[in-house]
Amino acid sequence: MSGLVQTEDANLLVGYRDNDDAGVYQLSDDLALVTTADFITPPVNDPYLFGQIAAANALSDIYAMGGEPKVCLNLVCFPSRKLPPKQLQQIIAGALSKITEAGAVLAGGHSVEDDEPKFGLSVIGLVHPRRIWRNGGAQPGDALILTKPVGSGVLFNANLKKWVSAAAMQTCIATLIHLNRTAAEIMKRYAIHAATDVTGFGLGGHALEMAKASQATLCLTLADVPVLDEAGAMYRKGMSTGVNRANEKLLADHLRFARDYPDWQRQLLFDPQTSGGLLAALPADQATDLLAALHQAGVSAAAQIGEVVVDADSPGIIVA
């Protein structure tokens, strides 16, 4: 989008040039709008769960900027000649349950006829202009906190072959429909230097975005990364996703491993997430307290997965 020309507006605090999770437009000295749009294809057959996952995924961009979702619009692609209206109603009902849980409202939306169902939301939230979280700003010595486990991409693919246990899929879906609201609210009590949410580019890709935006090197401890049940086993079994290779290529010139890891374990870095967790950088002396607060509030998978380091090859990712 670098070739686009737009009239300059000093109130556009975060725009398309910033490669962040959402746009931010300042309205006054103490109020700004956070705006995003996101939609996905169905990762599950259940339309209600599809609506919940898609809504949680879209709302996450607002939380990743330190904002509070307020108003949502449905974005619907639906094959009305193939599927009954009841399925669309269930998708929207699932989304509405998450919108309501977020403390936001559904104001309407738009639908088009399409051969494949797609659903998501356009979301507007509010944030204080001086309390915006950006994906840049991580500082040497910062601890890196991840609030949800990775591995949903390979689990959904493996589930098509019925390789995944019912219990593991239930845990995966419960993780995806869990809003990042609680994690974000708790994180606001701490000095967050940088934040993003982990979605389609995988943990490695979104960590790289943070590294580039911060002009820093992120050192990830792979053994400390929380992983969904059976995700590693699916990679060991030979399963992958259609996105892993592209994500791995994206990281190729900016990623180095401090020691040898089997390929199945490396693939967890490239696994594309839907409605993934928040990745945050904050002063190391605040990390223990933040993790304790997250765990006490039910964000049980939250973990410290690394640190920001000084490195001559910065920006990039080191995996220890």
| Residue range 97-143, pLDDT digits in tens | 999 999 999 999 999 999 999 999 999 999 999 999 999 999 999 99
**Residue 18 carries which DSSP code?**
G
Dist CA 246 CA 6 (whole Å): 30
What is the end-to-end Cα distance of the chain in Å, rounded? Answer: 35
pLDDT score of 165: 98
CATH 3.90.650.10 domain locations along the chain:
142-319
CATH 3.30.1330.10 domain locations along the chain:
12-127
Backbone angles phi, psi at 119, to 5 degrees: -150, 145
- State yes or no: pLDDT of 1 exceeds 60: no
List the structure tokens of 146: 């991840």
Res. 314 pLDDT band, cuts 50 70 90 = confident
- Is the distance from CB of 198 to CB of 148 less than 8 angstroms? yes
Options 3.40.50.300, 3.40.50.880, 3.30.1330.10, 3.30.930.10; which CATH number does 12-127 get?
Answer: 3.30.1330.10
pLDDT (tens digit, 9 = 90+) per residue, 175-220?
999 999 999 999 999 999 999 999 999 999 999 999 999 999 999 9
Mean pLDDT of 210-233: 97
Of 178, 157, 172, 208, the residue nearest 277 (C-alpha):
178
The CATH H-level (homologous superfamily) assignment of domain 142-319 is: PurM-like C-terminal domain (3.90.650.10)
The 3-class SS string of 237-299 reads CCCCCCCHHHHHHHHCCCEEECCCCCHHHHHHHHCCCCCCCEEEEEEHHHHHHHHHHHHHCCC
